[in-house]
Each structure stands twice: as C-alpha cells, then as structure tokens.
Structure 1
C-alpha cells in the first residue's frame, strides 16, 4: 500500500520527512513532495500550505503524480472536547463542511447540493 500524507506547515511535516528512508524530492506546482519508505511502507509526503484550498490542491498533486492508495492529513487542529490535550492523536470517522450553509434550500447545515451531509472515513483506516 502506498500512503499519501499531507501536512499544512513545515512544523507538521519535518519529523516525518526526516524519517523517510531512500528519500527523493519532487518539486511540483510550488510544492515539494518527499517520497520513500517510512517504517517499510511506501509514502509520499507533501507540505500543502494552510487552508482547505491548499489541502485540496496538495491532494490533487499527490493523487495525480504519486498515485497513493490513501491520503492521510496530519497536523494541528482545534478541538472542542475538554478531554483533549496537546499532542493527542485524533482519528475522524467523518468530515463535514463547517463554513457552508444552504439550509434555506432544504439541505443540512454544512451540506452542499450534490454532496452528502458528511464524508465517511474508510473503516479500515479508522481501525488501523
């Protein structure tokens, strides 16, 4: 399995990048993609820049040029659960828009026309 990994900031990708064995660098679309093996697994790591547009562009670059089987987003995020602490690992089972509202047309908050209300994560990845 080949894993694509996206991080927004240098601080979010440095540790992983430095652990990639047989690392090669691909410069593409203003981004650098680091390929090689991480703990025996083939990976492609990309620093996308901050925001959902940058993440989408980074995911597109990974999909088109590295052909990963899955893409994992790594990095910092805000959280509402009072039990979460800095450094905790959180694995989502669903992703939703937080900045879209077409409820006036009968959609759920965060749902866009032609899209589901939420995007379910792969059960195998959640279990891993």
Structure 2
C-alpha cells in the first residue's frame, strides 16, 4: 500500500523514480548512503517480482521488508512491532483425504515445504521457513528504545494472500506454527533474498488485531517506517559505512 512507503520515500535525498513493468522504485540517499525504496504492491507474487527486479537492477547490500500486519499473538497490541526472526508461507498447507460428506478438518492440515523450495547447487532444497540474517535482527532489536508507539519484539511472520478474522483460525496458526502476525509479502521477499544470498530482515507493525478488537489504523504504517529509518541509520553508521 502507498501508505506503507510514503515516509521512506520522503526521507530520501535526491530521489529518482524508476518504474519497471508494474513495480516502482525510488533511488536516493539517506545519511549520504545510497538507498532504494521498493513499492512491492500487495501479495506474494508482487513481492517476489519486485524484489527480483530490485536485486537485478540495484544490487542492494541488504533488504529490509517492512509494513503493516494483523496480530496473531494475544500478547501483542496495535502499534507493537515484530522483528521477524523467521517467516514462512502459512498458506502452504496439505489436507489429508476424506470422503465426500465427511467435512473439512483444517486443524489436521500439515505445512508444505516445496512451495518454498529453491534449487541450490543444482539440488532442490525445500524450505519450511526462512530465517532473517541474525545480525540484522540484533541490530533492529537494539533500536527498540527509539520506538514509543508500542513494544518491539522478536517473532514469527506468517505470509499468505489471506486476511484472517476468525479467532479460532488465528489462534490455530499461532498455537500450531508460532505466528506473531500475518501479512502478504515477507516470506516471498525472504525467498528471493535467500536465492540471491542477500542479507534480509522483515519488520512488521500490528495495524490491527482481532485478538483485542482493534481495527486497522493507517498511522501505524508511518510509525513502522519511522522505526525502520532508525534501523537503516544504525545499519549505515555501524555496518555499511
């Protein structure tokens, strides 16, 4: 969504806008270091395509995917930020055969690895999840003191082209797979970053959570970007420069 990138774009010095097919990028400087903002659009396919184009055209030193998310963890509230230690495609599920008229049993569904498989050294490797670069996770958590709109925690990001509002389903995801939040892009970006061997971090703010009857609040997207800018500043000053 546009609101998820507006503050990042506004922070760039001398931004240059580039559009490739359906995806747009802004290349500029932040603290005198080259930074590219990618508007990935919504969903796994868009996110993977935008990330591939960004890597091929701009050769980033690392990738931070940030934005809004819906809460799964009942300990988290709107405005809290999850630094994703890992992410996975939570819609990659397999059901067992049941005969006609025997109903649906989603609580028995199992996770699939092969929708997230990659070919590595000419061998197919299945990934049930993708871990963020540990140094980036640590760096991001160290900036938590700069964020006053909620707490900052390490967690698990579930990705799917879904918006779940059934509390039993949300709790099933959280209890079965440990999801902190759900959104629609992170694991797709992580897959592409892993394939290209680019360091990666996912950061998500709870914009809404049915665990506490808190509806979508657009302002949280700005708050997440401002926190991400603090992380980028620390990255530039302590790692990249």
TM-score clears 0.5: yes
Shift of 1:119: 1.0
Cα contact 1:37–1:43 (8 A) shared by 2: yes
Which gives a bigger RCO, structure 1 or 2 (Cα 8 Å, sep 6+)?
Answer: 2
Structure 2 CA distance for partners of 1:82 and 1:40, relative to 1, 3 Å: farther
The alignment's TM-score, normalised by the length of structure 1, stands at: 0.81
Aligned counterpart for 2:128 among listed residues 93, 114, 117: 117
Structure 2 partner of 1:66: 58
SS of the aligned residue for 1:60 comes to helix
Where 2:26 maps in the other structure, the secondary structure is strand
What does 1:24-103 align with in structure 2 at a 5 Å threshold?
A: 24-102=16-94
Offset from partner CA, 1:44-67 (integer Å, 9 cap, x none)? 111121101100011011011011
- Kindly indicate which of the two structures has a greater share of residues assigned to helix: 2
Q: Secondary structure at the match of 2:73?
A: coil
Tell me how large the CA RMSD over aligned residues is: 1.8
- Taking the aligned partners of 1:61 and 1:54, their CA distance within structure 2 comes to 11
Q: Which runs of 5+ in 2 are unaligned?
A: 97-109, 118-124, 140-241
Change (3 A) 1:14 1:100: same
Q: Is the 8 A contact 1:102 1:110 kept in 2?
A: yes
Once the two structures are superposed, residues 79-111 of structure 1 have per-residue CA deviations (whole angstroms, 9 ceiling, x without a partner) of 21123222222111111121112476xxx6142
The gaps in structure 1 that reach 5 residues or longer are 1-8
* TM value normalised by structure 2: 0.45
CA contact (8 A) 1:102 1:111 kept: no
Determine if contact 2:71/2:77 at 8 Å carries over to the other structure: no
Please report how far the alpha carbon of residue 39 of structure 1 lies from its aligned counterpart in structure 2 after TM superposition: 3.4
> Aligned equivalents of 1:103 and 1:71: distance in 2?
34
1:5 maps to none
Distance in 1 separating the partners of 2:135 and 2:112: 25
The structure with the larger Rg is 2
